[in-house]
Amino acid sequence: MTDLNITRVDATEADFDTVLDSMLAWESVSDAQMQSTVAEIIAEVRQRGDAALMEYSAKFDRFFVNSMAELTLDAEAIEAAFNRLPEDKQQALRVSAQRVEDYHRHQVAESWHYTDETGVVLGQQVTALDRVGIYVPGGVAPLASSVIMNAMPAKVAGVSDIIMTTPAPDGKVSDFVLGAAFVAGVSEVYLLGGAQAVAALAYGTETVPNVDKIVGPGNAFVATAKQQVFGKVGIDMIAGPSEILVVCDGKTNPDWIAMDLFSQAEHSHDAQAILISHDRDYLDQVQASIEKLLPTMERQDTILQSLNDRGLFIRVKVLDDAKALINRIAPEHLELSIDDPESWLADIRHAGAIFMGRHTSEALGDYCAGPNHVLPTSGTARFFSPLGVYDFQKRSSLIGASATAASELGQVVSVLARGELLTAHARSAEQRIDD
């Protein structure tokens, strides 16, 4: 294992802005070659449907099948996978799903309308999407939590058909992932991965139905495919590497903070872990905890590279200076490991999820606190929000004019439309004006 070398910088130094911008920089998800490869895969799936999917499963996942039935799991098979799990995992999945469901029920938007002073009925009708596709990665980590976080808000929103795709390398799929699909209300599962799965969800094949929206994380090929099919279907967001920003006043056990930083660094080499404190000695203590604990971690090589490449310790003059940095960084996960975290909330404008207090680890949010763990990354918390029920509902405007209102407002339309030289608009409204 190579030496730990986390970048440390003082916010008062002249080159601080340059260092911070360099450390935060993250390139686009794909280059021209990847864009071309993904476009070719999407075109093949559109043209050849199931046949292309089976060929790509053999090529990329070493899963050789003779029919799409071997790549399809119905509700009965999903439930059977849940039943094969040990009781502790079944119970953990149930608790997580229930807490996520309870939280997201607070997000449900209702239809509404009112009648204004002119007699016009105005409002908004809220309806759920018909069918949603969830992509679940099939790598080393069986991401059961990702299934719950993506499917449950769709279920709460009232989506009638929730389907899932997940790759099955060498024909193997995790019962833990399938068990999560069962508790989250997934209708059926297709053992498909990569750009080909995204293409199938977007355009449909003889077996896979097309959906209205695709959500869920994936590698660069998946992210690129989501970019390319956007417009045909909705997507949640294009996620970058996982991030955590911890602000600490120096009073939290440094071992806790070290492990919180590890919790994101273990995701990938590109993940980012940042610690801000005004206490130089405390930063030294956390570094010592990292050096002590890192050899005990199963994913220590990944953590080490993440911390060396993108890890950052920032010393501020006073702790309040961290507030401006939070809004500048707009982190995916923000831990406020301080005495009175609620007093900071009014000053924080940009963060995907805010974890308040010393006992609130980011891991709670990842699994079972209740809020969604699908969060904006790479500074996009400036304009994106966590995945929620609102991502699976759409809104239609309601307008209903009486004869009197049509006549009164029609005169306004006449002036505005003729001012824009759109006379058909004007005459359409003018026909309803009382003489």
Structural domain spans, the chain = 7-26+240-369, 32-111+127-235, 401-430
Structure tokens at 410: 């029609």
Q: Which fold has domain 32-111+127-235?
A: Rossmann fold (3.40.50)
- What are phi and psi for residue 308, nearest 5 degrees? -70, -35
What percent of the chain has a predicted confidence (pLDDT) above 70?
A: 98
| 124 assigned binding-site residue | no
| 373 assigned binding-site residue | no
On average, the pLDDT of the chain sits at 95
Return the pLDDT at 238: 84
Instruction: Give the Cβ contact number of residue 364 at 10 Å.
Output: 14
Instruction: Give the model's confidence band at 31: pLDDT under 50 very low, under 70 low, under 90 confident, else very high.
Output: confident
For the chain, what is the largest distance between any 2 Cα atoms, rounded to a whole number of angstroms?
87
CA-angle at 432, arms to 426 and 435, nearest 5°: 105
Instruction: Give the model's confidence band at 2: pLDDT under 50 very low, under 70 low, under 90 confident, else very high.
Output: low
| 267 assigned binding-site residue | yes
Structure tokens at 374: 């699908």
Give the 3-state DSSP-derived string for 240-283, with helices as H, strands as E and coil as C. CCCEEEEEECCCCCHHHHHHHHHHHHCCCCCCEEEEEECCHHHH
CA distances (Å), origin 435, targets 8, 242, 378, 408, 432: 77, 65, 60, 11, 9
Return the pLDDT at 218: 87
Residue 30 has pLDDT above 70, yes or no: no
Return the pLDDT at 29: 57
| 435 assigned binding-site residue | no
Whole-model pTM: value is 0.92
333 belongs to the catalytic site: yes
* Look-up of token digits 């953990």: 92
Alpha-carbon span 267 to 273, nearest angstrom: 11
Asked if 23 and 313 count as a contact pair (C-beta separation under 8 A), the reply is: no
Return the pLDDT at 237: 87
Alpha-carbon span 233 to 210, nearest angstrom: 9
Q: Which of 272, 167, 144 is nearest to 218 (CA)?
A: 167
pLDDT tens-digit profile of 294-334?
A: 999 999 999 999 999 999 999 999 999 999 999 999 999 99
Spatial CB neighbours of 213, under 8 Å, sequence gap ≥ 6: 129, 132, 133, 233, 234, 235, 236, 391, 392
User: CB-based burial of residue 272 (10 Å sphere; 0-12 exposed, 13-18 middle, 19+ buried)?
Assistant: buried
Return the pLDDT at 302: 95
Structure tokens at 282: 């405390």
332 belongs to the catalytic site: yes
Q: What is the DSSP letter of 29?
A: S
What percent of the chain has a predicted confidence (pLDDT) above 90?
A: 93
Homologous superfamily, domain 7-26+240-369 = Nitrogenase molybdenum iron protein domain (3.40.50.1980)
| 425 assigned binding-site residue | yes
Alpha-carbon span 371 to 121, nearest angstrom: 35
Spatial CB neighbours of 296, under 8 Å, sequence gap ≥ 6: none
Catalytic hit among 44, 104, 278, 333: 333
Instruction: Give the model's confidence band at 239: pLDDT under 50 very low, under 70 low, under 90 confident, else very high.
Output: confident
| 264 assigned binding-site residue | yes
Catalytic hit among 44, 101, 266, 332: 332
60-67: long-range contacts at Cβ-Cβ below 8 A with a sequence spacing of 24 or more?
60/167, 60/193, 60/194, 60/196, 61/138, 61/167, 61/168, 61/169, 61/170, 61/171, 61/193, 62/169, 62/170, 62/171, 63/168, 63/169, 63/170, 63/171, 63/191, 64/171
Question: Average pLDDT, stretch 375-403?
Answer: 95
| 227 assigned binding-site residue | no
Instruction: With both helix axes pointing from N to C terminus, report the angle between 16-24 and 322-329 in degrees, rounded to the nearest 10.
Output: 40
| 150 assigned binding-site residue | no
Question: Average pLDDT, stretch 392-407?
Answer: 96
* Strands, E assignment, 130-282: 131-135, 161-165, 188-190, 213-215, 234-235, 243-248, 272-277
